[in-house]
Chain A
Amino acid sequence: MTDTSANGQNNAAPKKNSLFVQDARLKRRKSAEKRFQWYGIGAISIGCIFLVVLLTNILMNGSSAFRQTFIDLPITLNAEEIEAAEASMLKTGAYKNIIYAALEEQVASKGVETEMSGKDLGKIMSDSAPGELRGFVLANPDAIGTTVDFSFFASSRVDGYFKGRVERADLVNDKNLDAAHLDIIDQLKDAGIVGLHFNAEFIFGADASDNRPEQAGMGLSILGSFYMMIVVLLLALPIGVGAAIYLEEFAPQSKFTDVIEVNISNLAAVPSIVFGILGLAIFIQTMHFTKSAPLVGGLVLTLMTLPTIIISTRAALKAVPPSIREAALGLGASRMQAVFDHVLPLAMPGILTGTIIGLAQALGETAPLLLIGMVGFLATNTPESFIAGFDTPNSAMPAQIYQWASRADPAFYERAWGGIIILLFFLLAMNIIAVILRRKFERRW
């Protein structure tokens, strides 16, 4: 082919041009292509920057929640004192006095000179200490009469001091702690009995009241979320996949199925709070299920997740080449055999991905849970058994985070960020599972 006139200029006279010279039109096309590439790179960069900023922010604010200031305190468990405490009306109040005495002793033994004593000195300790001590004594009656090394939470102000959140100047108007306390703390820190340690209680513990932020943990709300995910998985997966299979493979084309299809798409776009109020009206007010229970939460989230699962399952079924169905039908398979033996296995990766995305969405949902009463402060009671957990009032991770973020003490703010890290960890884990499952089930045809 020596003729190089085939240049899109059909009616123009044949013109010789070199392959080494690019004409203006080609240059324009090339530059348009380049521009589009830069748009894409720009868009991705902006997305990445946002993501990095968000993640660093979360990690910087939240990682400190996993460490907590502890005060080491050896306590001699005197049998008479404990008997007296158990006999008193305010049991933890009596235990408090045991702790104060031990604290005074400990402070003195480390050579710290102070005029403070008793309750005033005890401000450096968490309010959770007496309860913890009593719990230990009740669980280990044999330990009475011996000296036990305890490690109690320091109060949230002391913890804040260790984490740089609280300065001496801030304490002028603070009736919870004085600068003098911090002097003692500094000396105790040098003596090695006060310090920051990893706090497993934050991951496994229960929520605590407003004045004990140092004790609050995510454990029970993780459990609540876990129960809800079980409910969602057990209900939404079979119902959603079943509905999708019927609509996609069996349902006759009619006005009725059209209406259903449109409504499923609409449901996917309904704000989650609407599902919350629906759950409140139907499950709690009409059917009288236990308020705030993960069972109800799971039911509400099931309603929310269903459209996602149905839509993604239908897309996955649609993507299976019709030749596979024909092959099975041609062999004399019934419709159901064709679907369950051949189409469904091929659609599995898509279905699983959709389901896990739906679950992840449900895991992060807050608004509907607040409407059915699954608020954070309920996450304080460990369920008595596995089954009872479905019906025991509880919270969920995002609701717990929301609750912490709205409390006054800045110590809770840090925990809200920490909670987000845990939530993101679970979401990430679910997405990784989705990827692994998709890889595992993916087959070529």
Chain B
Amino acid sequence: MNDMRYIERATDMNETKITARDVHVFYGDSEAIKGVDVDIQARAVTAFIGPSGCGKSTFLRTINRMNDTIPSCRVTGGITLDGEDIYDKRVDVVQLRQKIGMVFQKPNPFPKSIYDNIAYGPRIHGLTKNKAEMDEIIEKSLRRAAIWDEVKDRLQAPGTGLSGGQQQRLCIARAIATSPEVLLMDEPCSALDPIATAQVEELIDELRQEYTVVIVTHSMQQAARVSQKTAFFHLGHLVEYGDTSDIFTNPKDQRTESYISGKIG
């Protein structure tokens, strides 16, 4: 693993954005997450790694309550955002998801123009008063997602006509257009080629200046490249959580070591 480029670890380790305490997730009778405690740090990239079916995506989706859409899914335990329980009865998921944006595994732009893709979020949340403000948000989001130069001349072209990597960056732009505080990314690069992956990874690294980013990834190299914190999931348990450099160079748990050295997974 000599090719890994460990990025700056100099983050102030004191501010916690999201906490999870004894979180269990059930699909019907089967338990997908078996008691997870984790503190996710603000303005840092946290990577969830682990073999397929270990529950990392499930856990990610409990953070913005996307699991609510699955009827058989049940969540117990407590998850807080800035100290507020997101599963509290008073919480409206719409408001929660405006604060916690999500980027999915497969790029899923709406079959509309690039402009409308970005504009949809601000529009439903009423973030703009006029077209000029909307144009500003759109330019800002596209610039931040590092795709502005590629699409600025064809904002009215369909978003589905872009290449895979561009589509994914468009989806990231769409997610940050609503000014979220947290960005959840569910294997955002798994459908992309290496060049597009590199672009998206670079983007993720920049995003941590302003956002708290949680990324689920299959690629340990990716986790090592982009994240400051890494959590290793195995069979529904959070096995180990800590600084990315520690996890990869000095894992404490036997299972983590087996996984990162390629013995299980």
Residues of A at the B interface (CB closer than 8 Å) are 252-253, 321, 323-334, 337, 341-342, 346, 443-445
Contact = CB atoms under 8 A, between A and B. Distances in A.
B175 A331 contact: yes
B178 A445 contact: no
A252 B71 contact: yes
A329 B174 contact: no
Interface string B96-125: 111001111010111100000000110011
A393 B160 CA distance: 53
B121 A332 contact: yes
B145 to A, nearest CB: 14
4 A-B pairs with the lowest CB-CB distances in the bound complex, closest first: A330-B102, A323-B108, A332-B97, A332-B98
B97 A329 contact: yes
Contact of B66 (A252, A330, A341): A330
Contacts of A333: 94, 120, 124
8 contacts: A252-B71, A326-B104, A331-B121, A331-B178, A332-B121, A332-B125, A332-B178, A443-B111
Contacts of A329: 66, 69, 97
A333 B110 CA distance: 13
Contact of A323 (B106, B120, B121): B106
Contacts of B101: 330-331
Contacts, number: 67
A331 B124 contact: yes
Nearest to A254: B71
Given A329-B97, A332-B98, A445-B160, A342 B110 contact: yes
B105 to A, nearest CB: 9
B95 interface: yes
Q: Is the interface of B mostly helix, strand, loop or mixed?
A: helix
A50 to B, nearest CB: 40
B200 interface: no
Most buried by B among A253, A327, A334, A341: A327
A327 B186 CA distance: 12
B106 A337 contact: no
B182 to A, nearest CB: 12
A341 B120 contact: yes
B74 to A, nearest CB: 14
A330 B71 contact: no
Interface string B144-187: 00000000000000001000000000010011001000000000
B124 A253 contact: no
Contacts of B102: 326, 330
Nearest to A252: B71
A181 B111 CA distance: 73
Interface string B42-75: 0000000000000000000000101001010000
A330 B64 contact: yes
B124 A337 contact: yes
Given A326-B104, A445-B111, A445-B160, A334 B71 contact: no
Contact of A253 (B71, B94, B110): B71
A87 B138 CA distance: 84
Contacts of A346: 111
A341 B97 CA distance: 17
A253 B70 CA distance: 11
Interface string B184-214: 0000000000000000000000000000000
